Amino acid sequence: MLDYLQQQLREREAQALTRVRRQAGTPTAPRQTIDGRPMLAFCSNDYLGLAQHPKVVAALQEGARRYGAGSGASHLISGHSVAHQQLEDRLADLNAPCIPGARALSFSTGYMANLAAVTALGGEGTDVFSERLNHACLIDGARLARGRKQVFASVDELADQLRTSTAPRKLIATDAVFSMDGHLAPLAELLALAERHDALLLVDDAHGFGVLGPQGRGSLAHLGLRSERLVLMGTLGKAAGVAGAFVAAHPVVVEWLIQTARSYIFTTAAPPALAHALLASLDLIAGEEGERRRAQLELLQAQLVDGLQPWVQARGWQLPRSDTPIQPLVVGDNQDALDLAARLDAAGIRVPAIRPPTVAPGTARLRITLCADHTADDVQALVAALTACP
Ligand SMILES: *Cc1c(COP(=O)(O)O)cnc(C)c1O
């Protein structure tokens, strides 16, 4: 076994696929100490810069004083705290405009929330339709689910699959914002198909929540969608700056998850202090400070695209249109992506190179992510360093 694993690791190395972890010695922020070096970072999903916001940090401390460090048990035993309930009530209110009568359920991570939703709703007798570019945890949920799985690459393909499905129940699952591309799924079309074929539509809004829509309520609000068929998964460790996730849905769906979802039932509840900190974070997201930070992100996005476009086109690379602070620079070749990242690294700028299997073969890229705490000078520094590459 050890020889086999060593051999497999060598093969990955030969294909420039080895991943390394760097150690951050400071809070996540545009200026961060990574492996002991001060770096200008364009790599976190803390889009609004709330992970080290003084109000969120103070609420985390206050939450720890009030509730202690850990929850002590799973939600169904004794780990469900007042803070968890307050968080769920707030998230239910936030999502009620898009999901009438919504109830919300909090999870420790988005990975576990998606596993819960897909396995609990995709049981025996349910066909699960999964978008090709879905995040790994939706894919893993579909693998674990007892229902039949089908993968779709377009709205038309999904329509065909739904038409020929004879399953009594149907679940469609999609990312709202594709995490390696930054573009939005055609959610209105997918919802129309869900309505026509009596299906539920599970939407993973990991990268839209906090960033898109009125008051940062996310992709559904951004597109003005409203339906009882929507099941929304949002993460709270990205734009919300803390940790965890939620599922918001019709109350019957949420009750079903509480009663049957194994990745909800058989795990210790997240520390209540995190839920307490999230209440402060949600206030910021919905308030004036959130508006200001979202406006700054839009300015930075436009500046980055304008600055890079001529250079990118001259090399035959691509800067696909993105609706979000995720700005991919698609170069194709694994080694080209690594070389660019290494050059930036030498210039004190951290941008991750993303390679297969995270993205499709031949579409290796730099995944640039912007944060509201970046300045115009920061973006200019990135553009200058990239366009100086031979
Ligand atoms: C990050 C991410 C998740 C997982 O959320 P975690 O809270 O980090 O476990 C799920 N879906 C998408 C699209 C993501 O980008």
Q: Is 90 exceeded by the pLDDT of residue 179?
A: no
Angle between helical axes of 136-144 and 110-121 (0-180°, round to 10) = 30
DSSP string, 39-92: EEE---S-TTS-TT-HHHHHHHHHHHHHH-S---SBIIIII--HHHHHHHHHHH
Q: What is the pTM of this model?
A: 0.95
H or E element, residue 349: strand 349-350
Is the domain spanning 22-52+288-387 CATH 3.40.309.10? The answer is no
Nearest Cα residue to 28 out of 40, 15, 12: 40
- pLDDT reading at 211 higher than 80: yes
Please indicate whether residue 175, judged by its CB atom, sits closer than 6 Å to ligand 1. Answer: yes
CB atoms closer than 10 angstroms to residue 48? 27
Ligand 1 centre distance from Cα of residue 315 (Å): 32
Mean pLDDT across 106-110 = 98
Nearest alpha carbon, ligand 1 atom 8? 110
- What is the percent of the chain where pLDDT is above 90? 92
pLDDT of residue 321: 86
Q: Residue 202: beta bridge partners?
A: 173, 231
- CA distances (Å), origin 301, targets 305, 321, 352: 6, 11, 18
Cα of 135 vs centre of ligand 1, distance in Å, is 7
What's the confidence (pLDDT) of residue 228? 98
> In terms of C-beta density within 10 A (0-12 exposed, 13-18 middle, 19 or more buried), how is residue 127 classed?
buried
The alpha carbon of 161 and the centre of ligand 1 are apart by a number of angstroms equal to 27
The pLDDT-based confidence of 16 (bands split at 50, 70, 90) is: confident
Q: What confidence tens digit (pLDDT) does each residue in 284-328 have?
A: 999 999 999 999 999 999 999 999 999 999 999 999 989 899 999
Whether residue 390 is predicted with pLDDT greater than 80 in this model: the reply is no
The reply to whether ligand 1 has any atom less than 6 angstroms from the CB of 137 is yes
CATH topology of domain 54-286: Aspartate Aminotransferase; domain 2 (3.40.640)
Q: In this structure, are residues 242 and 209 in contact, taking their beta carbons and an 8 Å threshold?
A: no
Locate the domains of the chain by residue range.
22-52+288-387, 54-286
64, pLDDT greater than 90: yes
